[in-house]
Structure formats: structure tokens, C-alpha cells
Structure 1
Amino acid sequence: PDWPDAGAARSWLAAERANLLATERRARGQGRPGAAARLAYAMAGFLDEECHWVDAEAVLVTAVEHWTGTGERAALCRALLHLSAVHAHTARYPEAAESGDRALRIARATGDEEAEAEVLRTLGTLNWHVGDHQAALVLFQKSFAITAMSGDSLDRARLHNNMAVTLLFLGEYDRALEHFEKTLSGFTEAGDHAALGKTLNNIGDLYLRRGDLESSRRSFEESLTFLEHSGNRYDRATVRGSLADVLTESGDIAAALPLYQETLAEFRALADRKSQADTLIGLGEAYRKAGEPERAVRHFLDALDIARLIGAAHQEIQALRHLGQAHFAAGRLDSAGQDLEAALSLAERTHDVDEKARTESVLTDVRRAVGGASTAHTLPGLTFEPGGN
């Protein structure tokens, strides 16, 4: 077809997705694995962007098998790159790392700097998913060093956004904002409205962390205006969850709860487990602030189970911290101390500066309460005397 623009091509792919997938399966079934692999690669970007991750994984696995057997390294490298990103979306982090590492070895062996830069960015995102923010930042910086020499402005804007988000988790808000400003400039120049929407969501998160609820909400609402027209299901659900977070912080629990429920249903439909954990934590916090601590604890425990199952350290820290707060509010000081000490230990290991500071603040309150409750009350590894901190 002669598509007039990218939007028309995307619409055609959406309309023909089932037929294209059937064609790929038929090609494999008729002994034409090369044709199936090429079709899989042609669809991969669209399937990933539109959140059809199960379909993308299915076709890319067979494409990787084919090109592994034929020794076509350039094709194999890019198929592995796509597969790594898809595995990360579905929280299959070990598989994502394996595919990404294979792609990186091929890119470097063949001198393909463009592929190397993109693999480094994908691996950086993977490290962010599992909570290793220092490692993520290093990988993004390496990717940017290559992209600054040979990449285009859109690639640089993406990396500025990646570095900014990582710096948020490292507690470096001013540096993050500098990168976000460069991101907005690059995406505005490129006319990429979906990317602009996602960046505005990230900037809203920065304002939320700083306690500027009004600016945060404005940023989230502006983000949603972009993403309602040009974003995908994941993007829109993410911003709705962000809006629910700022409503919770503002005390508007009645407005936050249905947004959280809608967001959770969407992430379950997408099989995005990490985002499910994020949303469950938000729901739990909303119920805690609404005076329903037991309901809050159930949501935090569900989030903790998911985070530990998939190896998402940041979500595990958050779930533990919120559990500690809920137990503290209910007067269960021992349970509060155990959860908060576990959260603090993990935050220190993963250099999650923001969560470390928040956990330490709550833990200080618990220690003071323990000191006032008994002459010698023990928390894991420590004994506190009355008035101790």
C-alpha cells in the first residue's frame, strides 16, 4: 500500500494484524522460515509499540531461532534487540538480559555502532526495571556517547529522557530536570506527540516527588491530552495511574480509587506485572489514607508478591515501606520495623536514594514510638532504649 504518513501505516497494521500473524504462521508451516522471520521483524516494532507483547514474543522467538541457524548476524542482532525489549515489558527480566547481551556481542563484533547504541539503551531500561539505577545510568551514558556522534536528534531526545528518569530515582532532581528540558526540545522538534506525552508524565512525577502537587497534576493532565490521541494503552494507563497518585496525595481519595481500578484492569489485560505492582501500591496507599488499613495491607502484600516474583527491586522497596507505614498506623511496631528495615536494606543495595530517604523518615518515627512503648524493644538487628532514635 502507498501510505501517505506513519499514522496511515499504523492504522493499516492495526487492521491487518490478525492476517499478518496468520501469514507468518502459514509461512513457517509451509517450510518458509526466512519469509516468516522477515515478516516477524517487519511487525515487531508495531507489535511492541501497540502493546501486543505476547504476539511479538511468539514471532520474534522463531525469527531468532531461524537467524541463529543461518548465521545472518545483522538480522539476528536486531531481532534479539526487539525480543529483549518485549521480554522486559512482560517482566521476563532474565530472558531480556540474555537476549540483550547476545545482541550486544553481535553488534560489537560486527562494528554496528547504531545497533550497539540501541542495545545499550535497551539494557539500560532493563536495569531500570529491576531497580539497578546506577548501572542503568552508566548504560544510558554509554549509549548517548555513541549516539551523540552518529545518531539523530530523536535518538538523543530518547536518551535524555532515559537518563532523566534514572536520575529521578537517584534523587538528583535538578540534573533530571535539565535532561527533561532537552527531551522536550528534541521531541517538539521531531513532532513526536506520543513521546512528548510520556515525557510530560515523567516531569509530573518529578514535581510529585518534590511535593508540588499543583504542577504535578497540570503536567499529568497535559500529558494525557497528548496520549489520548497518539499514545498506546500502556501510556494512557500509566498517566491515569499517575493522576490517581497525585489525587491520593491531595486527599481526593474518592476520585483516585476508580482511576486506580481502571488502571489496574488495563495493566492486567496487558500482562504488565510491574505496572500492576505499582498500581496496587497506589491503591493500598489510597485505602490507608481513607482509614482502611487492613484493606491497604492486602494490596501492599499483593504488590510485594509480584515484585519479588519478577525481581523488581524498586516496587519491592515501595511495597515494604508502605506495609511498614500501615503496620505502624495500626500499632504493630514489630511488623513495621521488620518491613522498614528490609526496605531500607534493599534501597541501600540498589542506590534508590529517594526511597531510602522516605524509608528512613518513617523508620525514625517507629523507633521513637518503640522507645516510648517499652524500656527495651527490639527491632531486627537493633535495640532501642526509651527516647532513642
Structure 2
Amino acid sequence: MRQQPTMLNFPSLRTPSYWLVNKYKFFSYSLVLLAVVLNPVMANAADITEQLHRPSSNSFGRQSRDDADALLRVAQKHYDGGYPEKAIDAGLQALKIYHAIGDFRAKGLTYDLLAKAYIQLGRYKEGEDALRRQLGIARDTQDFQSQIFILNNIGTLFLQSGQPAPADQMLEEALKIAQNVKNIEGQGLSLSNLGLVYARQGDYNKAIKLYETALIYRRRSGDLRGELNTLNNLGDAYLEAGNYQATIGTYGAAMGMARINRDRANQIRAIDGLVTAHTAAGRYERAFELLQQRLILAQELQNLPEQLRSFESYAQLYELLGNYPTAQNFYERAIILSQNLKDSRKEVVLRDRLTQMLKRRGK
């Protein structure tokens, strides 16, 4: 199972006063990033410093804070609408003005938005640079709460790009600050992400202990989405450790809580974990029941990628049980959906699996 890092949602930027009172929280669990698989190829683009000091044809003197606020609203709108390139253009214009008038908090918010846009585009060096500049502002202003969340974001970025050592360093620093200022939410977030560091390195016992401690703080802070994410991470760790009883109990708790709170992403993730656990334990009937729930949920949401993954899971389970005709049917349905989604990579993988299965069937 792919374990997911925890990042906090960044609030929409609607009014200047709203921006200034909110802390730097970044990435939703759904990123995207988190659902985004980071690519090691990085673009060779100018860094933020160069972009910040590019000459502009506009008369800078006539611009004001209101102009910057308007540009930042436009940038947020572009980002929310799926146009990260336009978000960067507008964000950099806003950043110039905030830089000139010395509005550090607004600069921090702008760097946060720029970081999200850069990372969505796969421009990870620039994304990291924006996060580090945001962190510098938080340190200069002694904004300890913001430091906690920014350090977690940088640590998560390192972790997802396969760099556990610097990720651990950032997350340990975040945890220390959270403990010093008694920030319960920050302690839960940092402990959960540290659990991921150890899980990615195969130390599942250490990861389990960190997740279990993180759950205490996430429940105390009332961070429901964070609690669900940590529960699923804990289920992943139990599964990798081969403790199927604890795996099923943990995923079951996550699935029930997610269903009640209509958190579909965590509900589907918990179902996937349960399917894997029940299959590994030989409880195929229960695995099929869960897959049916998964497919119905994906259809209700009209989520074609999740429907594709449901068909793929059905195909793999039927193949495992030697029911090749039914497995072939589900592979073919998954292939059709991959074509509709124009996901050529997934289509190639599915066709290869189907071909290999048919070869085994013919022997």
C-alpha cells in the first residue's frame, strides 16, 4: 500500500484580512500531492529571485496593496481552476508589490501559493525554494506555528522525492518546535509524517509507535482528516508487518469514520487496504464485498479513475483465484476506461497483464 504524507489544506484567499490571520497551511490530502506522484525530472527554470526582479512594463509606482491583493486573488482562482502557470504569473506580480512595500505576511502567503503551483507543474526545485523563503519569513517574524507546518511541507516534499534523511531532519525540527510551544495539532502532524519516514525505510515497528502516538494528539486537536489519514497510514504499517488482525481493525475504524464524515478519499483508501488484508488472509468473499462497495462509491461520485482502479482490482482478484474469463472481462473494461481517460501508460500496463494472464491460461 502507498502510504500518504499528511499536509494541511491551505484556506482560500478571499479577503486581505482573511489572508493575514490565517497560518501557512498547504496541500490537501486529496494533492494531490498528495494523489500526484512526484517525478524526479526537474525543470530548468529561473528561480524566484530572478523572476522577482524581472523588469515589468507596468508602472510600479502606481500599484498599491489593493493591486497586490487583487493579483493574489486572481492567482488563487487560477490555481483552483487548474491553471498553475497562470497562478504563478499572477503570484509573481503580487510578490513584487508585497516585496516593495515590505508586507512579510502577505509575501509568506504568496510563496505558499507559488510553491503549490510549482510542485503541481513538477518544478520541484522552485517549489522547494518558495517553501524555504516562506520558512525564512516565519523565522524572521518568530511565527512558530507557521514554522511547524512549513517544515512539515518541506519534509514531505523530500520524503516523496525519495530523500528520507533530509525529510527526517525537517520533521524532527518541526516536532521540537511543536513540543516547545505546546502545539497539539503540530505534534500530531509531525509525528504522523515521521512515521512515514520510518515506514518508507522498512522500520514498521517504529512507524507503528509513531502513528499510535500521533493519533493521541490528532484526536485531542479534533483534526478529523488528520486522524483518518494517520489511521490509514497505521493500517498500511500493520499490513506490511503482517499483523492482519490489527490491519483489519485499523482500516475498519478508518472506513467507518470516513463514511460517517463523508470523506470519500479516505474511505476508498481504507477499503483498498481492507481488500488487500482480507485477500492476504484468504477471506475472498469479504474482499469481493468490499470491492463492490468501492465500485458503487466510485460510480456515485462519477469518478472514472477510481472506477478504473475498481475494475483493475476485480481483475487481479479473479485472476488470483484462477477465474480467467471473468478476470479478462474486468481487464477489458479497465482498458476501455483508460482509453477514455487517455491514460496511455495505464493502458499499456493493463494490456500487458491481460496478455500475460492469457498466456498462462493457454498453457
Give runs of aligned pairs for residues 53-132 of structure 1, distance below 5 A.
54=122, 58-68=126-136, 70=140, 71-132=142-203
Aligned mates of 1:202, 1:118 — CA distance in 2? 22
Aligned mates of 2:168, 2:306 — CA distance in 1? 23
**Does the 8 A contact of 2:315 with 2:328 survive in 1?**
no
Q: Per-residue CA shift, 1:13-69, capped at 9, x if unaligned?
A: 13454332322333456673753431343577x879xx9373577335323234236
Aligned mates of 1:92, 1:231 — CA distance in 2? 36
Q: Per-residue CA shift, 1:273-294, capped at 9, x if unaligned?
A: xxxxxx98x99887765557xx
Give runs of aligned pairs for residues 161-310 of structure 1, distance below 5 A.
161-227=232-298, 242-251=313-322, 252=324, 254-255=328-329, 259=334, 290-291=358-359
Question: RCO (CA 8 Å, sep 6+): is it higher in 1 or 2?
Answer: 2
**Does the 8 A contact of 2:189 with 2:214 survive in 1?**
yes
TM-score by length of structure 1 reads 0.56
Aligned mates of 1:236, 1:128 — CA distance in 2? 28
1:210: Cα distance to partner? 1.7
Aligned mates of 1:106, 1:267 — CA distance in 2? 45
Unaligned 5+ residue runs, structure 1?
Answer: 270-278, 293-389
**RMSD of Structure 2 on Structure 1 (CA):** 4.5
- Establish whether residue 26 from structure 1 lines up as the match of residue 93 from structure 2: yes
Instruction: Report how many aligned residue pairs link the two structures.
Output: 278
Bigger drift between 233-242 and 83-92 goes to: 233-242
SS of aligned partner of 1:226: helix
1:234: Cα distance to partner? 8.4
Report the AA paired with residue 26 of structure 1.
Q
Identity %: 13
- Establish whether residue 133 from structure 1 lines up as the match of residue 200 from structure 2: no
Aligned mates of 1:106, 1:158 — CA distance in 2? 22
Report the AA paired with residue 109 of structure 1.
N
Aligned mates of 1:267, 1:10 — CA distance in 2? 30
Report the AA paired with residue 164 of structure 1.
G
Aligned mates of 1:56, 1:190 — CA distance in 2? 33
**Does the 8 A contact of 1:197 with 1:224 survive in 2?**
no
Report the AA paired with residue 135 of structure 2.
W
Q: Per-residue CA shift, 1:194-222, capped at 9, x if unaligned?
A: 22122111111112212233432442343
**Does the 8 A contact of 1:184 with 1:199 survive in 2?**
yes
Q: Per-residue CA shift, 1:65-87, capped at 9, x if unaligned?
A: 34236254322221221232333
Aligned mates of 1:29, 1:189 — CA distance in 2? 45
Q: Per-residue CA shift, 1:295-323, capped at 9, x if unaligned?
A: xxxxxxxxxxxxxxxxxxxxxxxxxxxxx
Give runs of aligned pairs for residues 5-24 of structure 1, distance below 5 A.
13-24=80-91
Aligned mates of 2:263, 2:240 — CA distance in 1? 25
**Does the 8 A contact of 2:312 with 2:331 survive in 1?**
no
Aligned mates of 1:287, 1:94 — CA distance in 2? 41
1:192: Cα distance to partner? 1.3
**Does the 8 A contact of 1:198 with 1:235 survive in 2?**
no
Bigger drift between 105-114 and 249-258 goes to: 249-258
Q: Per-residue CA shift, 1:210-256, capped at 9, x if unaligned?
A: 22334324423432443466698986776565445324313336457
Report the AA paired with residue 249 of structure 1.
L
Shift of the 99–290 alpha-carbon distance from structure 1 to 2, 3 Å rule, reads farther
SS of aligned partner of 2:122: helix
**Does the 8 A contact of 2:311 with 2:330 survive in 1?**
no
Choose between structure 1 and 2: higher helix proportion: 1
Aligned mates of 1:24, 1:77 — CA distance in 2? 24
1:136: Cα distance to partner? 1.2
1:118: Cα distance to partner? 0.7
**Does the 8 A contact of 2:111 with 2:133 survive in 1?**
no
Corresponding position of 1:321: none
Report the AA paired with residue 65 of structure 1.
R
- Establish whether residue 159 from structure 1 lines up as the match of residue 230 from structure 2: yes
Unaligned 5+ residue runs, structure 2?
Answer: 1-12, 15-27, 31-75
SS of aligned partner of 1:117: helix
